[in-house]
């Protein structure tokens, strides 16, 4: 009996992990908020630890330490919510959509769809936000052209989820940088380089799978005219407005200070909403708080009713609870059985990359959310990466192109469930066409095998592990 008790204690971390997966599955099935599942399991773990340790102070200290270890990310997530709402209310996002429709009749539709959503995602910083705005419009146009829904949606999502891996305005990107203690500029350079072959492959597949579908016709023209009319009635539109996200992106790259860039985006959005769209200060503050809301909105304008600080609170709560759970696990070495078996036994950098990717994907699959799939590999795989001659930037790149990229491909993941609710198409149907997401990791592994001698030890020059004080003051 003693041996059984010791065995259960040794593997209690895995038991709690299974409980978390089951709880989150129930939340998804019943339509409950995911943070309730995280909170419920956290309460159970704390109760169990209190019985074991007979004192609450270490438990509370570990939870507080975990939550505050990424404290700057909470403000940044709120600023991201402000930016999304204000870039819509100021006419920036509507202008990008409007002038995008200007050229849609003169280009290859699937190619345009992929590039348009990728560009919007880079500037909006949210995959689901991009889908629910310009993505819905393009999906509707694809239906008018009688293109297969899963095909069009797959390329829309390939572009939209560029946000979660590469956009400086993405909460997930900033969270990945924060947990790995790296600057966005170093992260973006590494991730973009890894994504480039898959990006080219996706462009090629646009032409092959898109065939010679016509981009004209009365139905399509009428739908585009209606979209443009709706946008023109609600916003003042101008091509120069599209310079705003470009300025913010340039500021991020120039200074490496993501928080300063978000302040810049918020300030420009407020100014343009006040003086160009002629909204009151009270209305601007309302947009910042609850997101953009339009009077008597319909059609494409209705899809733009997103953003706002309050809308980001659930993301913050999930990250807080995830960090609390991660801290409890880390302090009690509950990760050790899994990490020793999977990560520390890796003999080569190639093995380490593959196993870290598997760990991140597996955790996302178990928890139905990207948070744990970022936190745990970031905290537990850094030493093995350093030992194999790789850096924290290399680790962040692997996480971004595995767990983060694969999340919307899992039918039970919260991303896939929301996509199903928006479009009526499930992950099993659109996943084969979400080429940029699944092909990036596959191509990384293939190139590792082909150029094993060259990539056996990745250069860490200029991308060593950086203590937090060396990061940008964001």
Per-residue confidence (pLDDT) for residue 7, from 0 to 100: 55
Q: Following DSSP, what letter does each residue of 57-104 receive, concatenated?
A: HHHHHHHHHHHHTTTHHHHHHHHHHHHHHHHHHTTHHHHHHHHHHHHG
DSSP states of 419-432 as a string? HHHHHS--HHHHGG
What is the reported pLDDT for 160? 94
Res 63: pLDDT: 94
Tokens of 323: 């960090």
Residues 6+ positions from 140 with CB-CB distance below 8 Å:
223
pLDDT at 428: 92
Instruction: Report pTM.
Output: 0.82
pLDDT per residue as tens digits for the range 326-376: 889 888 888 777 777 778 777 888 888 999 999 999 888 888 778 888 988
What would the pLDDT profile of 429-464 be if each residue is shown by its tens digit? 999 999 999 999 999 998 887 876 554 444 444 444
Read off the pLDDT of each residue in 270-287 and give the average, rounded to a whole number. 95
Task: Identify the residue whose tokens are 């480039």.
Answer: 196
């Amino acid at each position: 009996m003693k041996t059984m008790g010791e065995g259960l204690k040794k593997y209690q971390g895995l038991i709690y992990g299974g409980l978390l997966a089951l709880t989150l599955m129930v939340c998804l099935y019943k339509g409950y908020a995911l943070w309730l599942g995280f909170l419920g399991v956290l309460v159970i773990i704390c109760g169990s630890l209190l019985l074991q340790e007979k004192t609450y102070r270490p438990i509370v200290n570990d939870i507080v330490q975990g939550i505050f270890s990424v404290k700057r990310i909470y403000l940044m997530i709120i600023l991201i919510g402000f930016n999304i709402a204000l870039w819509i209310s100021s006419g920036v996002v509507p202008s990008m959509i409007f002038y995008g429709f200007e050229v849609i009749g003169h280009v290859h539709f699937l190619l345009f769809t992929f590039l348009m959503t990728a560009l919007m995602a880079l500037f909006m910083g949210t995959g689901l936000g991009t889908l629910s705005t310009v993505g819905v419009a393009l999906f509707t146009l694809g239906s008018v052209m009688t293109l297969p829904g899963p095909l069009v949606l797959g390329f829309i999502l390939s572009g939209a989820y560029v946000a979660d891996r590469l956009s400086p305005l993405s909460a997930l990107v900033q969270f990945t940088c924060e947990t790995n203690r790296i600057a966005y500029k170093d992260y973006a350079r590494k991730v973009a380089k890894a994504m480039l072959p898959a990006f080219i492959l996706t462009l090629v597949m646009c032409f092959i799978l898109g065939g010679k579908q016509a981009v004209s016709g009365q139905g399509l023209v009428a739908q585009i005219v209606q979209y443009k009319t709706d946008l023109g009635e609600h916003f003042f539109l101008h091509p120069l407005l599209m310079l705003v996200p470009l300025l913010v992106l340039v500021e991020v790259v120039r200074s490496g200070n993501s928080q300063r860039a978000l302040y810049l985006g918020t300030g420009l959005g407020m100014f343009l909403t006040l003086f160009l769209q002629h909204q009151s200060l009270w209305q601007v503050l309302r947009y910042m708080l609850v997101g953009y809301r339009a009077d008597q909105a319909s059609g494409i304008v209705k899809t733009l009713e997103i953003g706002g600080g309050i809308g980001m609170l659930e993301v913050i709560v999930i990250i807080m609870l995830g960090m609390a759970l991660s801290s409890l696990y880390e302090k009690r070495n509950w990760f050790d059985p899994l990490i020793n078996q999977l990560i520390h036994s890796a003999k080569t950098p190639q093995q380490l990359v593959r196993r870290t990717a598997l760990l991140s994907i597996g955790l996302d699959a178990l928890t139905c959310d990207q948070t744990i799939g970022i936190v745990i590999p970031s905290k537990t795989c850094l030493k093995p990466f350093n030992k194999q001659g790789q850096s924290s930037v290399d680790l962040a790149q692997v996480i971004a192109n595995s767990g983060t990229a694969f999340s919307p491909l899992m039918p039970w993941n919260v991303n896939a469930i929301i996509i199903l609710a928006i479009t009526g198409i499930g992950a099993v149907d659109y996943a084969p066409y979400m080429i940029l997401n699944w092909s990036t990791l596959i191509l990384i592994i293939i190139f590792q095998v082909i150029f094993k001698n060259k990539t056996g030890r990745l250069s860490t020059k200029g991308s060593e592990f950086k203590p937090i004080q060396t990061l940008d003051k964001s």
